A and B are shown apart, each in its own frame.
Chain A
Amino acid sequence: MKLPAGLAPHLLRSIRLVATQLDTLLLWATLTAADRFMPAPGLPWLAQLGALVICVLLQSPNADPDQQAWRSQARRLPRRLAVVALAAGLWYLVFSLPATAALRVAAVWLPLTTLAPLVAWRVCAVRSTVWVRSQFQEHRIDIPVGEALVFGGILAASDTLAPGL
């Protein structure tokens, strides 16, 4: 995917930083889901942290010599595979986890990160920020949020303190 020509380098870095953050965020979500749904022994938090550190190191935008374009999916794939390989090595050697653990994580993470750029995240972010701000400042949606908390708290309390009420 090509970026518009003439973008300042700091904007390019910013965009790539968002891409890295997105990849890392998706990896975190995948690891969390894997920890919950994978069979025992699950993923120790140190193993998860290690995979995230590897992801950040390898995907760092500052390490990218290409200042002209958004890296294509094909060019990004080797780095992602490297993240998976290194994580698998780390998990197998240090944490004695089965090698299939990394494969399961990769099976979710790779498609997610591939599909993620298809969504216009920055546009979504800007629009959602404007929408949220208007909801709070003009429509004071915080008040129904507070009322919902009061309602929810009272109903939860009645439901748990007097079961079957």
Chain B
Amino acid sequence: MLATAAIWIAARGLLRLPSTRSGASLFPVLVVTMLGLAVWLQTAGQVQRGHLVVAVWLVGGVALYRFLLARFATDAEGGLVENFRWITLGAVGLVLFRPFLQAGVHGTGDALWYGTMLADLMAQLHAEVFPVWTGQSIYQFNGSIFPLRIAPLFHHAGALTDLLTGRALAPFSVLNALLFGTGLLALATTYFSRRALLPQLRGCAWALAILFVGCPGTLGLVFNTDLFMSWTTVPWWPVALYGCIRSFQASGYRPLLILAGALGLLWWGHAPIALWTTVIMSLTQAARLLTKRPASAMIRPHLAAAMLFVFVAGYPIGSVLLYPPEPGVNAAGFQGARADVVVRFLREARPASWLPMSAHGRALGDFQLGYALWSALIVTLVLAARSRSVALTALPLAALGLAALLNLPSGPAEALWRLVPDFVRNTTGNWVMNRLYFVQSGLIVFGLAALLAARAASLPRTAARVALAFALCGVLWTRFEARKFAAGSRAGLRPPTSGVLAVRPENIQITRFAYLVFPKLPAYFTHGVTAPALENRLFNDTGTLLADNFVAAETGGKVLATHEFFHDRADNDFLGLPLALHLVPGRHYLLAFDFHADAAPEGLMQIKGPATLREYAMPEYGEAASFGRGGRHSRYLALPHSADTPHGVDVRYYPAASAALARPFGRVRWIEYIPANLPVDIESWIPYRARVDAPAAGWLETPRMFQTNYEATVDGRPAIVKNPPKVSSVSPFRRDAPRSNSATMPRSG
């Protein structure tokens, strides 16, 4: 890094590059820099694809910067100041989003979920599958469609990030790069759209851009509770608002097409936010149509905009509503939100949502407007009250309406929320603050921008300076508050290796959220790390089990040891094994538990090693046949080992009651098995292809969730795919030959 910077500085000094118009002299500087880099890398003898990607980014980044400079900041005095606005915006972006410049996992459970979703999409793209409709790889082996098809922008932007980084980054690094890049893009789109609205007050445009992105309700999307899908909408809401304001200022197609395109992208990003923004924008356009004459002249542009909107937003809206995983599933109503519950959550967030943020910015009350934007809202409303124009009052009024929904006392707030249609409320969910403060912050700053733009020509110089000073104070306060998000990230910082470890086969978690929109969880579902290769079973026509990979691994594998759980020291609060299990790379292990009849019923099973941390609540951690104790629960846990070096792992049981430490718990048999010897040997996940060795004709149950239009073949011949009514998740295959054959399940439609 230092060598690259040194070469760049040397090249600049050597070739001199003083003005914005010296594009021609930029080229030799870049060439010298790249040659220097090549020599350095060659000398270092460790040229990797990543080095080339960085080199391309350096050239592309500087060239883009130069292009923008020549395009938008040409005049000497104005260009200097404009350049400084960009530099400070870039610096603000680096400071605000610095926590995402890491290779580890940033965030909690949802971040892990989204990271594995992205890993699945990347795996499918690397296997040349595009477009991607469902999960297929081991990262989403259940064939999940949520949120892939409801909020596809996150996944596709992630795929683009993977492409732009030359496929040189691990999935969680791609995720972090995506979140970081989205933040910078949001600052850019916000500033450029506001700059176009306020050409005479660019300082205010700069400050308002920082106020919008730095608002706790906006920044909280990515820092607080990992709302990454919502975060992808942040760059596009300002563009939609720009189109809306421009549509009032000038007639024609362009503003409306910008508005429609941006709204369509919002639907790709996050449906609840898109719903609210679409409703608000539709109301403002309706007001415009009613007040502007002649309305007939505006019909064509509106029709064109509507067509563009349907074209862009059609996929995320239609793919689930029109094509649910199973006929008759109400994909739009998988969550419900009652007015009284919404209001209760809002009440619980107060008064914290009116106070400065908590130390780490991770509380519910930290979804808030912030004092800077509250002040801006008051100024906006005062200015709007003195204006009689619909164009200038529409956005402030919408912001005021959201302020009422979010901040009124429980009684009036509940009455207001009851007026909101069920469809809108249910789509929004119970935690409305997660969606609406961000929407409101955009309405405030763009409402203020529209009001300032209307007065810019007649605004005294002193007033302009006062406005800028006011905005600067807001920026300082926003920065002061935003540092708490970074503090929270530091407090929860994980090692850089956590990102790589999270997508190792032995650590991949599939939680219940990966099954959303499907009508029912499968009985074998375990809420956490499972072994998809072993979740394959054979049944006969009457539903009797013919073969089970878990059982086959136990009976056909080699028993390495049998250990009894025991309590060794008085100060330990767990039951452990006498020895750590020694795992060898590339081998596959199974833990078969035999629980004692008097074993403590409730507790936590933990498997812990240098690259593994798995925890399972007991007596069950999922559905009726999940891993657990008693009933139909599975007593097996698979333990593959994909690391390069041997590791030892400890297996411990933490009973809920300390008295249970003295009672016998059970034993575990440590078994090594060979996957090729199993009755169902998975040869490929993309697409699903297995070699089946069945004792009789029957049905193959895979861990893929059933979906309409799945197709399957057995030995190259079409096979029946069905969804048994009692076990709605099973996707079995008819197998005709009595001995070994292979089954494949490519997707269709």
Contact = CB atoms under 8 A, between A and B. Distances in A.
B51 interface: yes
Interface in B640-661: none
B586 interface: no
B80 A142 contact: yes
A155 B1 contact: yes
B5 A151 contact: yes
Given A163-B496, A165-B51, A152 B101 contact: no
B630 interface: no
A121 interface: no
B6 to A, nearest CB: 11
Contacts of B491: none
B702 interface: no
Given A140-B20, A146-B69, A151-B58, A156 B83 contact: no
Contact of A160 (B20, B65, B87, B101): B101
Given A157-B177, A157-B180, A162 B103 contact: yes
A150 B173 contact: no
Contact of B17 (A137, A142, A143, A152): A143
A158 interface: yes
Given A151-B5, A155-B54, A160 B102 contact: yes
A154 B173 CA distance: 14
Contact of A150 (B17, B61, B101): B61
Contacts of B304: none
Nearest to A160: B101
B50 interface: yes
Nearest to A159: B1
Most buried by B among A144, A149, A152: A149
A161 interface: yes
A143 B29 CA distance: 14
B94 interface: yes
A74 interface: no
Contacts of B103: 160-163
B87 A154 contact: no
Contacts of B58: 150-151, 154-155
A137 B80 contact: yes
B599 to A, nearest CB: 44
B18 A140 contact: yes
Secondary structure dominating the interface of B: helix
Interface residues of B, number: 42
B477 interface: no
Interface string A128-152: 0000000011011011111111111
Interface string B159-184: 00000010011100100110010000
A146 B101 CA distance: 20
B199 interface: no
A153 interface: yes
B83 A143 contact: yes
Given A137-B80, A144-B12, A158-B50, A151 B4 contact: yes
Contact of B5 (A152, A157, A158, A163): A152
B54 A161 contact: no
Contacts of B83: 142-143, 146
Contact of A143 (B48, B51, B69, B90): B69
Nearest to A158: B54
A165 B5 contact: no
A162 B169 contact: yes
Nearest to A161: B173
B542 interface: no
A147 B65 contact: yes
Contacts of A149: 87, 90-91, 94
B91 A157 contact: no
B62 interface: yes
A150 B165 CA distance: 16
Contacts of A137: 76-77, 80
Interface string A52-94: 0000000000000000000000000000000000000000000
Which of A155, A158, A165 has the most B CB atoms < 10 Å from its CB?
A158
A161 B102 contact: yes
B19 interface: yes
B248 interface: no
A119 to B, nearest CB: 28
A148 B5 CA distance: 8
Task: Point out which of B1, B173, B180 has the most chain A C-beta atoms below 10 A from its C-beta.
Answer: B1
Given A137-B77, A155-B58, 20 more contacts: A140-B19, A142-B84, A143-B69, A146-B65, A146-B83, A147-B8, A147-B65, A149-B94, A150-B62, A151-B62, A153-B90, A154-B54, A154-B58, A156-B94, A158-B1, A158-B54, A160-B103, A161-B176, A163-B496, A165-B50
7 contacts: A137-B77, A140-B80, A143-B83, A146-B65, A147-B65, A150-B58, A165-B54
In the A-B complex, list the 4 residue pairs whose CB atoms are closest, starting with the nearest: A160-B101, A161-B173, A155-B1, A150-B61
